[in-house]
Each structure stands twice: as structure tokens, then as C-alpha cells.
Amino acid sequence: MITNTNNVGSPQTHAIDPRRAKTSSTAASAPKEDTLSTSNANDLKAALDRTETLRPDVVERASHLAVDMNYPPRQIIEQVASLIAASHDLSEEQD
């Protein structure tokens, strides 16, 4: 309910029907229709089909890093450890 204060000395209460209330700001902010363009979808699918599933160069690099005692660098390990230690423990929250 909104109190009408236009009539000085005699406030009245009126219910506003949101279906009937139209203002210029409502019309201006009305959402536009969503659209989807699939013009590049076939090109994307073709490019993905041409991409190798198994990339030998990446597998070789990963194999070298897996046995490297200096990977990841100590600085990275310490940064990640600090982030984990500073993070909020979600297991302490109650439902």
C-alpha cells in the first residue's frame, strides 16, 4: 500500500496493481530478446576435429616435469600453501 499525499490534509491509501503500472523507466529498461548466432559453429567444430586428442609435445613436457625434483618451484609451493592457510575453512560452517 502507498499513501497518497497529493491531497493535503486527507491522505488516502491505494493499492498499486503492478500489471497496470507502466512508467517510461520500465519501458526503457525492458530486456531485449536473446539471440544466438550459430554462423561460426561449423568452423569451430571443424577446427576441434582437426585438433589432435593426444599431443606428444605436451605429454613429453609433462613426463619431464613429473620427475623434476625442482618442479614446481619452491616459491610457488609456498605461495599456494599461504593461500590455503589463509582461506576460510568451509567445514566449520553450520547449515
pLDDT in tens, 54-89: 889 999 999 999 999 999 999 999 999 999 999 988
Please check whether residue 32 lies inside any domain of the structure: no
Please check whether residue 94 lies inside any domain of the structure: no
Please check whether residue 76 lies inside any domain of the structure: yes
SS (H, E, C) the chain: CEEECCCCCCCEEECCCCCCCCCHHHHHCCCCCCCCCCCCHHHHHHHHHHCCCCCHHHHHHHHHHHHCCCCCCHHHHHHHHHHHHHCCCHHHCCC
pLDDT > 90 in the chain, percent: 34
Q: Give me the domain span that covers residue 67.
A: 55-87
Please check whether residue 38 lies inside any domain of the structure: no
pTM: 0.37
Please state the domain count of the chain.
1
Please check whether residue 66 lies inside any domain of the structure: yes
